[in-house]
Structure 1
């Protein structure tokens, strides 16, 4: 498989967005990269695919911007580019939640890495002896493809529904450790911060999301495949295309910020 697929995000205050959009678009076009880059005042979210040389060149140029030097993309491979075109878009949020008080660039929620989460699930509790509750923050059609089977799943159609769902179910999490998860980390980061704002004390996000969990562990406790927002539809536990047919039209070419 010769195509490298990358995903990355960073919450950081950005200005000069039109100029940044054009600079990134020109660089991607020069390198024949396809995919989606979302820019907003709160940060950057990107999904790109191309040859190894082109991807490495793009990341090197991205790191030349002091705001993005610490971005470390997650990678997977495929035989073909899973995007039909390049889109570089300006948005109000890089992941739409519609809660202006949730500002991840002001300070991240605590995170748990994949090996630690796997150990917690193996032993049935965290290192302080508290029960661990996994919370899936993804949309319903993503969950259908694969999930941690013991996780709470609110069957939401959009991430904007998450705040109401968690507010109606707070008692479930009393005296428990909550680990929110999503595909690559962006939604579960906002979700964890919102839960902290609600006064829930033992909240973590899964660092790097499902993709990092499958990369850094043997996949124990995960069932099924992982939905991705491109032509591959899903990747398996080895992060290779799962061969799942494209589902409902709403998932095709859908913005990865929903």
Structure 2
């Protein structure tokens, strides 16, 4: 497998969106990359695929802009490019929550590294002895593909439903450590900031999301596959393309 599939995001204030879109699209097309890049006043969210050399060339070029110097991509490989074309889109938010008081570009949410989370799950508590509760912030069709064992799954159809779901269930998390997670980190970061905003304590995001957990651990405590937003459908804990499973197949 020779195609690099790269995902990354960064919350950072952007005020030159039309011109930035043109520069980014021109560079991607020149390098013959395919995928989707979202640009919004709150930052960038990108999914790209191509051979190693042009992927690295693009990321080096993008990081020359100080606003994107801190981008930390997640990578997986495949035999073919799982995108049909290259798109760079302007959006109001790079992940839609419709909570204008949440401004992640102003400061990162607290995070726990994949190896630390795996250790907490194995020992049954965090380093302060509190029970750990995993909170899936993804949509229902994503959690159908796979999720952490015993994770709270609200079966939401859209991330915009998350604030109401957590408000109705807030008492569940009292005196516990909550680790929210999502595919690559972007949704769970906003989720943690919102939970802090409504007064919840001991809340963290999984650093780098599920994809980084697969990359840095052996995938223990995960059940099924991880849904991805491209033609691969899903990846397994080895980050290899995997067919989407039904609930019955996951439990078999």
Q: In the TM superposition, what is the alpha-carbon distance from 1:244 to its structure 2 partner?
A: 3.2
Structure 2 partner of 1:23? 23
Name the counterpart of 1:88: 88
Q: TM-score, normalised by structure 2?
A: 0.96
Who is 1:40 aligned against? 40
* Counterpart for residue 169 of structure 2: 169
Over the residues paired in the alignment, what is the CA RMSD in angstroms?
0.8
How far residue 144 of structure 1 moved from its aligned partner, in angstroms, is 0.5
- Whole-angstrom CA distance in 1 between matches of 2:236 and 2:171: 34
- Partner Cα separation in structure 1 for residue 60 and residue 105 of structure 2: 23
Q: Output the CA distance in 1 between the equivalents of 2:244 and 2:142.
A: 12
SS of the equivalent of 2:241 reads: coil
Structure 1 partner of 2:249: none
Match of 1:160 in 2: 160
Aligned residue for 2:134, secondary structure, equals strand
CA distance in structure 1 between the partners assigned to 2:101 and 2:244 by the alignment: 38
Residue of structure 2 equivalent to 1:135: 135
Partner of 1:254: none
Q: 2:196 is matched with which residue?
A: 196
Q: Which position in structure 1 is the counterpart of 2:51?
A: 51
Alignment check: 8 A CA contact 2:225 2:244 kept? no
Mapped to 2, the partners of 1:15 and 1:83 lie a distance apart of 28
User: For 1:79-99, what per-residue CA distance to the aligned partner results, in whole angstroms no more than 9, with x for missing partners?
Assistant: 000001111000000000000
The Cα shift of 1:70 comes to: 1.4
* Equivalent residues in 2 for 1:96-115, closer than 5 Å: 96-115=96-115
After superposition, residues 53-92 of structure 1 pair within 5 angstroms as: 53-92=53-92
Deviation (angstroms), 1:243: 2.9
Structure 1 residue runs without a partner (length 5+): 246-258
| Poorly superposed stretches of 4+, deviation over 4 Å | none
Structure 2 equivalent of residue 228 of structure 1 = 228
- How high is the TM-score relative to the length of structure 1? 0.94
Q: 1:145 corresponds to which residue?
A: 145
Match of 1:250 in 2: none
How many residue pairs end up in the alignment?
245
Distance 1:240 1:141 in 2: 20
